[in-house]
Amino acid sequence: MKMSIKYILIPLFAAFITSTVSYGTTDDANKSNINSIKAIVDDEIITQEEVIKRSLAAIKEAQGKYRGNEFENKVDEIFKNTLDELIDRKVLIKEANKIFGTDEAKKKDLEKDLDSFVKGAVKNVGSLSKYYEIAESQGINPIEKKKELKEDIMIDRIMKENVYNKIIIQPKLLRRYYIENIDEFRQKKEVKLRHIMIKFSTHNNNKEETFSITQQIMKRLEKGEDFSNLAKQFSEAVHAEDGGLWSFEEVNELRKDLRDVVYSLKDNECSKIIESPVGYHIFKIELIKPAKTQEFEEVQDGIYKKIFREETIRLKHQYINSLKTGVFIKIVN
């Protein structure tokens, strides 16, 4: 796979994002690589081109997150997962064709749903000609897309019958999950605050001068002046223009020694002057959300969705693996 990535990644985005896969006679090596067989499923093949095209969205996302070897390794992982998905899809389509191919009523319902879907898509864009124009501009072959949609509907039907409709989650299972995983539902204390910081660097690293300025601000606060206004005037920290207001999430990212001080304060309480390596700080608590454990009734829907999702994955793998026992599958390295 490393070799294929090395040769494919350069032309990959230019070629496939514009959906114009064109290789000249001087690019025979790439053309051969693109068309190489990656897997055989009974009498059908999966090519490198299919794997790449189906991986594009994930690769584009990875391109923004990873660099160098890490990116190459991520692309290898994406290609492997995509190949597995394509193999599973071929297996499911084979099974679906067996079922729908012998049942006229199911075939008729399938065609009805497919026509309804296409008519809906045409209606959304205004006309059939506009539909084809948009498809062409996006590099989509409408005939191939219709075939893919038909396969999607067939797969969805057999998955409902053999996976989704078989999932039964008893209420007692939700309660048991809640009890056994209670730590998931404990919310930590959260604090929103306002912050004034005077930096050493602004005053030639003169600690005495920096402290004197901070002390003057503290005296004004003690006399009742508004913290927000003083933060706007004097603070050299982030959010000074917003009166030094920090969100719950930002407070959690404070240095541990500063965070410990903040969490020891009461609602609306102002801290003493606190020194850090970069300057002097004054904090005022704006809002406290106390620590609490969410009640079962608050989280049961989320628990249900999580268990349903996990059970769907388990039964889907089980079902597909049962189908694979009757199918010849070979992965070509």
Q: Would 311 be classed as within a structural domain?
A: no
Three-state DSSP class for 236?
Answer: coil
Which of 62, 90, 118 is at the close of a domain? Answer: 90
pLDDT band at 17 (very low <50, low <70, confident <90, very high): very low
Buried-state track 15-49, b at ≥16 Cβ within 10 A, e below 16: bbeeeeeebeeeeeebeebbeeebbbbeeeebebb
Instruction: Quote the pLDDT of residue 33.
Output: 57
Q: Which domain holds residue 48?
A: 2-90
CATH number, position 247: 3.10.50.40
Q: Tell me: the pLDDT tens digits for 118-158?
A: 788 778 878 777 777 777 776 667 777 788 888 889 999 99
- Asked whether residue 222 is domain-assigned, the answer is yes
Can you read off the two tokens belonging to residue 200? 């050493």
Angle at 112 between CA 110 and CA 118, to 5 degrees: 105
Asked whether residue 142 is domain-assigned, the answer is no
Q: What's the rounded mean pLDDT across residues 36-57?
A: 91
Alpha carbon of 6 to those of 9, 12, 40, 76, 229: distances in Å? 6, 10, 24, 11, 58
- The amino acid sitting at 281 is H
Residue at which a domain ends, from 90, 125, 141: 90
Q: Which of 19-33, 83-97, 315-329 has the lowest mean pLDDT?
A: 19-33
- Does residue 5 carry a pLDDT above 60? no
Question: Which residue among 90, 114, 141 closes a domain?
Answer: 90
Q: Into how many domains does the chain fold? A: 2
Asked if the structure places residue 310 within a domain, the reply is: no
Does 27 map to a domain? yes
The answer as to whether 154 is a domain residue is: no
